[in-house]
A and B are shown apart, each in its own frame.
Chain A
Amino acid sequence: MYEGCKAGNRQAQERLYRALASKMLGVCLRYARSTFEAEDMLQTGFIKVFRHIDSYRGVGSFEGWIRRIMVNTAIEMYRANQRSGLTVEMDAVTEDGQQTFSMDELECEDLLKLIQTLPDGYRMVFNMYALEGFSHREIAETLNISEGASKSQLSRARTWLREKIKQLEGGNYESR
């Protein structure tokens, strides 16, 4: 499939898209503010994949490389949004951080909605650190913020999410 895509074979490209679109949309949704934005991200990402397929050097998995391109596309979109001056500061939240959750109760869609309501900067840091495994230094360099800001945004995002999940679970129990 990779060889076919490299040669520009449209059928091979379609097969690759069909195999990975769903999974990559899952990644994009976490970074985007809306489903519409995530689909836009997915489209841009796949076009980049097919156009720059020559730059994949065979280091790491092909899927990992594609995922990285999706994340980079998300970062570029975030930067573009940032330039339009839409930044929201989060209020300081008190840390409790000791609670564990039974997340099995929650659907991914519900979690996504929570993540998507996070202010852009927090969402980026949380995604990159907690779900993608970037270091604070990498995040600081990519998003052009200080390492300290990355750390504080991560902890605020976590606290905020925990709070929301707790509310959601409580609501679920109440409704039952």
Chain B
Amino acid sequence: MNPGKKNQFDEQLREKFEGFRPDAPAGLWEKIAAELDEQHPRRRRVPTWWMAVAATIVVVSGIVYWQNRPVSVTYLHARAEEPVFPAQKSTEPVASAAPVDTAELPAEPLDLEKLRHVFAKRERNISDKKRLRVQEPVEQSAEVLGSAASPQLASHETEVAPADRSLRPGDTLKKVNTAITAVPPIEPPVVLEEEETMLASSDPAKQPFGVSSILNYVVKTVDQRDEKLVTFSNDEEGSLKLDFNFSLARNKKKRIK
């Protein structure tokens, strides 16, 4: 091996090619210019498409956040002015009922409400006849509450009655009824109405103008094809649904190539 000789050979060739200037083919510059021209619009198209997608994502996430933002909860407290609890009273001797009631005031209204709820529910299912009779909200509440309390009251009455008839059970009942009407009523029938309206609104034909319409409009402005890449819709529960048409995205890619 003789590196000096080899380098000399390389050197000879290098010198030879250094001054080598073959003629470039005639139309090559036109080809290059055409290819450069062709590339420019392609380059611009891709970022616009991605910007549209990015903008849509930002808008969607913003709206979703706004709809789910934390809201401070206000708890409403019912004021019980003259609370009397029939259950407590009737288990004890009727004579000592009044003083005991005043002593146990704070805990009672809660129990009463619970009972009212339970019976109101049962009422809804069982006694349709009674509900049909109800006309005005105030009467309604009184009626429903009365009827809600009535089974219990009736049972207590039967308990109490044999023990001591002379203690006028009618008085207790009257007192209970006035106490119930005095308590700010939570109206089960109203709740029922809400449910009904909810059920009615779930009818897909009557979809209200919602967030999805706005989003679809935004998509329409950036994506001007007949079929959109992203379509928004609301379902029965009001949550937002996104439909991606991936076949469109794929087609677009192919076209770029």
Contacts and interface: CB of A to CB of B under 8 A. Distances in A.
B2 interface: yes
B95 interface: no
A162 B5 CA distance: 12
Contacts of A25: 22-24
A43 B12 CA distance: 29
A26 B36 contact: no
Contacts of A73: none
Given A14-B29, A50-B36, A26 B8 contact: no
Interface in A34-64: 39, 42-43, 46-47, 50-51
Interface stretch (A83-91, A97-105, A116-124, A141-149): A97-105
A14 B29 CA distance: 7
A83 to B, nearest CB: 19
Given A29-B22, A97-B6, A98-B2, A18 B14 contact: no
Interface string B128-146: 0000000000000000000
Contacts of A129: 10
B interface, size bucket? 20 to 34
A26 B12 contact: no
The 10 closest A-B pairs by CB, nearest first: A130-B10, A21-B24, A26-B20, A22-B21, A108-B20, A103-B12, A25-B24, A25-B22, A46-B32, A131-B14
Interface of B: 1-2, 5-6, 8-10, 12-14, 16-17, 20-25, 28-29, 31-33, 35-36, 39
Given A21-B29, A43-B32, 16 more contacts: A13-B33, A17-B32, A21-B24, A22-B22, A22-B24, A23-B20, A26-B21, A39-B25, A98-B2, A100-B5, A100-B8, A100-B12, A103-B12, A111-B16, A131-B13, A158-B9
Interface of A: 10, 13-14, 17-18, 21-23, 25-26, 29-30, 39, 42-43, 46-47, 50-51, 95, 97-98, 100-101, 103, 106, 108, 111, 129-131, 155, 158, 162
